[in-house]
Structure 1
Amino acid sequence: MEQQQWRRLDGTRIKRPIEDEVRTVLVREKEMGHTLKVCIGTDSQVKGKETEFATVIVFIRKGKGGFMYIHNETTQQKMSIKQRMLMEVSKSIEVAYALCRLFTVYNVDMEVHADINTNPNFKSNDALKEAMGYIMGMGFVFKAKPHAFASSSCANKIVQ
């Protein structure tokens, strides 16, 4: 995965590859006796001619809170809502794919969350089947709204 600029929620920039940061986190959390689950999701917001994307890696300590890492990017490419939803999924999968080996080695469950509504009355629903197929086809656990909190809550707060 190309070097992306990641940060913590408090704004602290991660100065090394995210793979190295995640490996350190997994070792530290395991040593502290925490059981982890990781959820990866992306949300976007159209702001004038730009679309801002935020991808998050959310670490959940079972019964003990959690924390996350954030990557933002913007584009001026015009997209339909379906294209934008699938771009969000693509960004999440890129990160999940880059990190999945680590999660396997450290026996950590991972889910990919899509900010796509399961209700057919919403426009984002047009991308549901493709997103589900894309994520599950890559071998990842898929979650959509209302269970996709990494994208629909965590990443959403970053792009608002």
Structure 2
Amino acid sequence: MSFEEVFNHIVKFMTIHPRGKYRLMIGTDSQIHTAHTVFITGIVIQQEGHGVWACISKVIIPRRMTQLHERISYELSLTEEIVSMFTEDRKNQLINIVLPAVYEGATFTMEGHIDIGAGKRNKTSEFVKEMVARMESMGVEPKIKPNAFVASSYANRYTK
């Protein structure tokens, strides 16, 4: 699907129930294979309590990316690439769907799910500040493990 088709699916999903509480979540995970590394970016629109619509984008790098910082940084770059496609005009189009019902509880938020954790035992904890700052600089609410389920669960499923 083209990004325009993905965006149109999100618009249709939100238009069905314009009074919903919507979360647009984007996150990437990776898996090192024998001769390549697979990156999957998940794009998920959730109407809280009423389901989701989701799709993925797949990138294969023809080498083993064994350096953790390089791989995490590339995951975030792929997430940032998708986030940047949601221009101000496109975000406003989505916001305008729920805007008439905002006083009835309708909401729209956009999140960047980063496949890192802050726990002391987590190998990625040293990258949290850097990666969170990158998401914040794009005007997107960053989420890390355990709240980064689009990256750590949904996208992860398709990296195998």
- TM-score norm. by structure 2 comes to 0.82
CA contact (8 A) 1:120 1:126 kept: no
Equivalent of 1:96, from 83, 86, 105?
83
> Which letter maps to 1:95?
I
Q: Say yes or no: does 1:22 pair with 2:6.
A: yes
SS in 2 for 1:31: helix
**Could you say which residue in structure 2 is the equivalent of 1:87?**
74
**TM superposition outliers: structure 1 runs of 4+ over 6 Å:** none
The offset of 1:82, in angstroms, is 1.2
CA distance in 1, matches of 2:53, 2:15: 17
Q: Which residue of 1 aligns with 2:98?
A: none
Deviation, structure 1 residue 31: 3.0
Gaps of 5+ in 1: 1-13
Alpha-carbon distance in structure 1 between the residues aligned to 2:7 and 2:57: 17
- CA distance change for structure 1 residues 146 and 21 in 2, over 3 Å: closer, same or farther? same
Contact 1:113 1:151 in 2 (8 A): yes
Secondary structure of the structure 1 residue equivalent to 2:130:
helix
**Offset, 1:106:** 1.5
CA contact under 8 A between 2:10 and 2:45: conserved in structure 1? no
Match in the other structure for 2:144: 144
Structure-2 residue corresponding to 1:44: 30
Q: 3-state SS of the aligned residue for 1:123?
A: coil
Q: Which amino acid aligns with 1:147?
A: N
Matched residue pairs, number? Answer: 144
List runs of 5+ in structure 2 lacking aligned partners. Answer: 96-107
Indicate if the aligned counterparts of 1:112 and 1:135 stay in contact, CA closer than 8 A: yes
How far apart, in 2, do the equivalents of 1:115 and 1:23 lie? Answer: 24
Residues 23 and 45, structure 2, Cα contact 8 Å, conserved in 1: yes
Say which is worse superposed, 147-156 or 130-139, in terms of deviation.
130-139
Offset of 1:26 from its aligned partner? Answer: 3.6
Output one character per residue of 1:82-133: Cα deviation in whole Å (capped at 9) or x when no partner.
1111111111011011124312321131100000011132212222111011
Query: Once the two structures are aligned, what percentage of the paired residues are identical?
Result: 28
- Point out which structure has higher relative CO (alpha carbons under 8 A, 6+ apart): 2
Which residue matches 1:8? none
Match of 2:57 in 1: 71
The AA in structure 2 aligned to 1:53 is: F
